[in-house]
């Protein structure tokens, strides 16, 4: 048997057993986090078994590190030395080409070029240029696949984040994590398939809104929505017994509850009663498994050497990526981490260093850790924001400090592991980091490539809604970027 068929068989079996909620006749249809049971029967939506994989998958897990606000690509990865000669000169109209601007700078009289104040150096065999703000990331450039030519149409945060996450600027579509949950299903009976962690940046001057709509299941069954683990209090809402209620007392009540529900089932015969009994048992198991997951007390000192001391503090980005590794170890499919405050309209110099410090070592630690645990090849790590930033300064410009407005035409993201091509640098922008001059990658194509790494053909990975076969990558055909894949 070839490895692909074997994998599919394995996964099918896992899905069957893993998802069986013990309801006769609907076994293969139930997924871990619940089922629509309008009228007692799964709707047609739910009767679609998870779609079969179209290709041998490279990645089985995804850790998506979203830098909310839009990091300035020319201060981090997109090295533009010629801009030093352009200091405080106006951005040529031939570069801007009528690009629409946000109303924050559309009233500006001038668009003076702000060269990056940070030093860049080339690293690794790939020779990737990296800013001095990211010394750890610089050490691992040969593991990463950089895309310097990602493109979006959105110029404001809400639509742009939504676009990056759901493939559409208007809210209401399923996000990438929900699609992956729908496509791959669960391989852990005691944890959600799709987990969201909202990390707290050390600086919070320019926070953007992040809401549950970003991890909603959209038109997919609600079971595929992300479950947000909280950094403070209980990691999952209501996971702890009430004060003064021991596990024994809880077990006792659940035993009584189960016996009474069984009697009810005998007289009424509603199959949902059985489902409910199972879900109460799963809730009880989660009360043990979730604290076990989030209790990092057993992590050795070496973990903190690797990720940095910040990883000891719940809620930090470093702690969140450590949890992400623990989630991957336990079979969770998709971990979405949000790190906020990258929206540097002003004061790049005051804010960017702490933003980078928040994420630099933890990202490095995560990748080394995944490697040493043998999880790297099957885990796709994604780093990036929702758009880039302008080469011209928003507000006051000096050699020491400047601001940058939103910029949709190019921004830099990177992938690691999960079948992405290590040490690859994809795409190129003009001297102004304003327009893509080589290998543009639209969000839809980026998504198509991610899906391919997970084993799906984006054109066939669909869900029927409002009479259409809906896709993450939208109506127009999207293209897989082969060069980004190992």
| Contacts (CB under 8 A) with other proteins, residues 93-122 | 100, 102-104
Nearer residue to other proteins within complex by CB, 18 or 221: 221
Binding-site size, other proteins (CB under 8 A): 92
Question: According to the binding rule CB under 8 A, does residue 291 interact with other proteins?
Answer: no
Q: How would you write the chain as a 3-class SS string?
A: CCHHHHHHHHHHHHHHHHHCCCCCCCHHHCCCCCCCCHHHCCCHHHHCCCCCCCCCCCCCEEEEEEECCCCCHHHHCCCCHHHHHHCCCECCHHHHCCCCCCCCCCCCCCCEECCCCCCEEEECCCCEEEECCCHHHHHCHHHEEEEEEEECCCCCHHHHHHHHHHCCCCCCCCCHHHHHHHHHCCCCCCCCCEEEEEECCCCCCCCCCCCHHHHCCCCCCHHHCCEEECCCCCCCCCCCCCCCCCHHHHHHHHHHHHHHHHHHHHHHCCHHHHHHHHHHHHHHHHHHHHHHHHCHHHCCHHHHHHHCHHHHCCCCHHHHHHHHHHHHHCCCCEEEEEECCCCCCCCHHHHHHHHHHHHHHHHHHHHHHHHHCCCCCCEEEEEECCCEEEEEECCCCCCCCCCEEEECCCEEEEEECCCECCCEEECEECCCCCCEEECCEEHHHHHHHHHHHCCCCCCCCEEEECCEEEECCCCCCCCCCHHHEC
Nearer residue to other proteins within complex by CB, 207 or 430: 207
* Site stretch for other proteins (CB under 8 A), options 143-151, 211-219, 294-302, 419-427: 211-219
Nearer residue to other proteins within complex by CB, 240 or 368: 240
Enumerate residues 388-427 that contact other proteins by CB under 8 A.
Answer: 405-406
Enumerate residues 6-25 that contact other proteins by CB under 8 A.
Answer: 25
Among positions 8, 28, 286, 349, the unique one binding other proteins when judged by CB under 8 A: 286
| Contact by Cβ (8 Å): 364, 218 | no
Question: According to the binding rule CB under 8 A, does residue 193 interact with other proteins?
Answer: no
For residues 34 to 73, the per-residue mask of contacts with other proteins, x marking binding by CB under 8 A and - elsewhere, is xxxxxxxx-xx-----------------------------
Nearer residue to other proteins within complex by CB, 242 or 300: 242
Question: According to the binding rule CB under 8 A, does residue 288 interact with other proteins?
Answer: no
Question: According to the binding rule CB under 8 A, does residue 233 interact with other proteins?
Answer: yes
Q: From the CB of 43, what's the least distance to other proteins, in Å? A: 8
Nearer residue to other proteins within complex by CB, 132 or 270: 270
Question: According to the binding rule CB under 8 A, does residue 125 interact with other proteins?
Answer: no
Q: From the CB of 361, what's the least distance to other proteins, in Å? A: 24
Question: According to the binding rule CB under 8 A, does residue 468 interact with other proteins?
Answer: yes
Nearer residue to other proteins within complex by CB, 239 or 306: 239
Question: According to the binding rule CB under 8 A, does residue 2 interact with other proteins?
Answer: no
Enumerate residues 243-262 that contact other proteins by CB under 8 A.
Answer: 243-246, 248-250, 252-257, 259-261
Q: From the CB of 99, what's the least distance to other proteins, in Å? A: 12
d(CA 114, CA 408): 18
Question: According to the binding rule CB under 8 A, does residue 160 interact with other proteins?
Answer: no
Q: Which two tokens stand for residue 410?
A: 């190019």
Question: According to the binding rule CB under 8 A, does residue 374 interact with other proteins?
Answer: no
Nearer residue to other proteins within complex by CB, 240 or 401: 240
* Site stretch for other proteins (CB under 8 A), options 9-17, 204-212, 297-305, 384-392: 204-212
Question: According to the binding rule CB under 8 A, does residue 236 interact with other proteins?
Answer: yes
Q: From the CB of 436, what's the least distance to other proteins, in Å? A: 20
Q: From the CB of 158, what's the least distance to other proteins, in Å? A: 5
């Amino acid at each position: 048997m070839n490895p692909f068929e074997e994998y599919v068989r394995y996964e099918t079996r896992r899905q069957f057993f893993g998802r069986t909620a013990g309801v006769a006749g609907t076994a293969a249809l139930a997924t871990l986090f619940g089922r629509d049971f309008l009228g007692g029967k799964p709707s047609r939506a739910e009767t679609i078994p998870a779609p079969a994989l179209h290709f041998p998958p490279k990645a089985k897990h995804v850790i998506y590190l979203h830098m909310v606000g839009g990091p300035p690509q020319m201060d981090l990865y997109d090295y533009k030395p010629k801009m030093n000669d352009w200091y405080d000169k106006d951005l040529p109209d031939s570069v801007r080409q009528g690009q629409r601007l946000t109303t924050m700078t559309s009233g500006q009289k001038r668009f003076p070029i702000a060269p990056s104040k940070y030093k860049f150096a080339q690293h690794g065999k790939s020779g990737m240029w990296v800013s001095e703000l990211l010394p750890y990331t610089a050490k691992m450039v040969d593991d990463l696949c950089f895309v310097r030519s990602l493109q979006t149409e959105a110029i404001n945060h809400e639509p742009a984040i939504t676009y990056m996450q759901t493939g559409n600027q208007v809210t209401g579509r399923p996000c990438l994590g929900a699609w992956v949950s729908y496509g791959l299903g669960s391989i852990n009976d005691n944890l959600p398939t799709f987990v969201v962690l909202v990390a707290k940046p050390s600086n919070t001057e320019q926070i953007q809104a992040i809401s549950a709509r970003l991890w909603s299941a959209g038109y997919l069954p609600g079971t595929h929505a992300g479950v947000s683990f909280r950094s403070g209090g209980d990691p999952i809402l209501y996971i702890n017994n009430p004060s003064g209620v021991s596990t024994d007392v809880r077990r006792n009540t659940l035993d009584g509850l189960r016996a009474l529900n069984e009697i009810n089932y005998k007289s009424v015969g509603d199959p949902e009663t059985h489902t409910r009994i199972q879900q109460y048992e799963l809730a009880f198991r989660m009360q043990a498994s979730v604290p076990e997951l989030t209790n990092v007390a057993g992590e050795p000192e070496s973990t903190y050497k690797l990720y940095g001391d910040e990883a000891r503090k719940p809620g930090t980005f470093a702690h969140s990526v450590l949890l992400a590794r623990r989630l991957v170890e336990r079979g969770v499919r998709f971990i979405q981490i949000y790190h906020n405050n990258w929206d540097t309209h002003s004061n790049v110099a005051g804010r960017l260093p702490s933003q980078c410090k928040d994420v630099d070592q933890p990202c490095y630690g995560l990748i080394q850790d995944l490697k040493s645990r043998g999880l790297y090849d099957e885990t796709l790590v994604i780093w990036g924001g929702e758009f880039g930033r302008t080469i011209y300064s928003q507000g006051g410009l000096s050699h020491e400090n400047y601001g940058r407005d939103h910029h949709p035409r190019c921004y830099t993201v990177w992938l690691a592991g999960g079948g992405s091509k290590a040490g690859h640098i994809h795409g190129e922008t003009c001297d102004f980091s304003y327009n893509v001059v080589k290998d543009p990658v639209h969000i839809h194509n980026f998504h198509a490539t991610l899906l391919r790494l997970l084993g799906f053909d984006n054109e066939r990975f669909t869900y029927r809604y409002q009479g259409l076969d809906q896709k993450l990558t939208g109506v127009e055909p999207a293209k897989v970027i082969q060069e980004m894949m190992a």
